[in-house]
Amino acid sequence: MWVLGVARQHRFVLPVWRRAGHGAAGVHVSAPLLVPEDSRPRRSSRPLKSSRAQLKPEGRWEDPERSAGQSKAWRSEVESERRTNTSSRVSSELKKLLLEDFPADREQLARLKPAQSSRAESFEVVFGVAPCLLALSQGRRKARRLYVKDGEASDRASVLKVCEEAHRLGVAVQRVGRKDLDKMSSGAVHQGVCLQASPLSFLTEDSAASERHDTTPLWLVLDRIQDPMNLGAILRSAYFLGVDRVASSIRHSCPLSPVVSKASSGVLEVLGVHGYHDLGDLLQSKAARGWQVVGTVGADTGETRIPVTPCRAFRMTKPTLLVMGGEGDGVSPELLALCQTLLTIPAGREMIPGVESLNVSVATGILLHSLLASRRSAS
């Protein structure tokens, strides 16, 4: 039985291995333990006797004469890890948590496809630092397990904050390789963290029954937004600018997926989206109660029976519904017929045919800013 150590200001107690028969049986110590200098027992200054069989960092036996270069690299890595651990200000419980290995879970993860496992148990994978942190802190999802990229990425302050939140809530944290995270996120940018959690769904119409507003409310109504990247960007702008509520058609609209959460920088975890099977009923109900229904059209719309107003000339003086259409055809004819005013964004130059329109998420941000600015000036 050999115990290898590094003695300076602190000592690392590394894995202990023993031989059994003709093979090598190992006892795994998951994390390096820091032993203070004062509590270290006195020992002889004589070096340990060399052996033909030494332990590589991966836990395999190898002839030291064949791996001199690798041993040097290993010692450098150990010293680097010592400096990282001694300089970290993270709590000891969290540091142990981050360095903890789960060999049984790691083997199970290698055997199972994460996406299939998540679908079978009604879980999905949220990815990205902000979405994972907000999914944990807001409590709208049932979190099951947090996966963190093994290596230096787990020591970044933003990742540590996510791990601290998971640890506080009692959610298991597991280190995995980059390829595992890539599979979980379907190749999207995960920033080294993925969270297995229950999916989000549209809020029901009943949950919007009681309404109280201290200011003139503005609701954003989304008609058939199908691109999750657009929906995420819209939600981020709506939350930032101060929209009171977001309503969306349920049919012909993209679901509230982890892609939407990542595109919204986690806003989906904070801002609930109310779903309606018939947006026409919503518009008619609000109009009957004195709300103004404002639609949106392109700059060159031709003749319409509904007045078209440049957004900078419009003043929001009463509760308003702003209706934004989908990427293809815009607001549907059924909803356009229920609008009292149509807003447009004038171009700043003469447009070349084919590029005379804006992306729906960009147009939504401009219109929301214009309406909310007019609401502030009117108050």
Please report, for the chain, how many H helices and E strands are present, in that order: 12, 18
Residue among 231, 221, 226 nearest 261 (CA): 231
Query: Cβ(355)–Cβ(362) under 8 Å?
Result: no
**Lowest-pLDDT range, 92-96, 299-303, 307-311, 340-344?**
92-96
Quick one: which of 372, 377, 367, 374 has its CA closest to 315? 374
Q: How confident is the model at residue 217 (pLDDT cuts 50, 70, 90)?
A: very high
- DSSP letter assigned to residue 308: E
Lowest-confidence region among 151-155, 335-339, 366-370: 151-155
In whole angstroms, give the CA distance from residue 228 to residue 257: 8
Tell me what the pLDDT averaged over the chain comes to.
77
What value does the mean pLDDT take over residues 318-346?
Answer: 93
Model confidence pLDDT, tens digit, residues 273-317: 999 999 999 999 999 999 999 999 876 666 678 889 999 999 999
373-378-379 Cα angle (round to 5):
100
Sketch out the chain's domains with CATH numbers.
Answer: 5-81 (no CATH), 99-197 (3.30.1330.30), 205-346+354-378 (3.40.1280.10)
Mean pLDDT across the stretch 357-376? 92
Q: Which two tokens stand for residue 103?
A: 């060999």
Instruction: Return the closest-CA partner of residue 241 out of 372, 377, 379.
Output: 372
The stretch 222-242 carries a mean pLDDT of: 97
Q: What is the chain's percent helix, strand, coil content, to nearest 5?
A: 40, 20, 40
Q: Distance (Å, rounded) from C-alpha 147 to C-alpha 163? A: 9
Q: Can you tell me the distance from the alpha carbon of 189 to that of 325, in angstroms, rounded to the nearest whole number? A: 28
* Residue among 243, 120, 132, 251 at smallest CA distance from 195: 132
Q: Which among 196, 188, 193 has a CA at the least distance from the CA of 232?
A: 188
The whole-angstrom distance between residue 374's C-alpha and the CA centroid of its chain comes to 33
Q: Is 194 helix (H, G, I), strand (E, B) or coil?
A: strand
**Which pLDDT does position 37 carry in this prediction?**
43
pLDDT confidence of residue 79: 56
The segment with the largest mean pLDDT, out of 49-58, 197-206, 365-374, is 365-374
pTM of the model: 0.68
CB 294 within 8 A of CB 341: yes
Is pLDDT of 170 > 90?
yes
The model's confidence at residue 211, banded by pLDDT at 50, 70 and 90, is: low
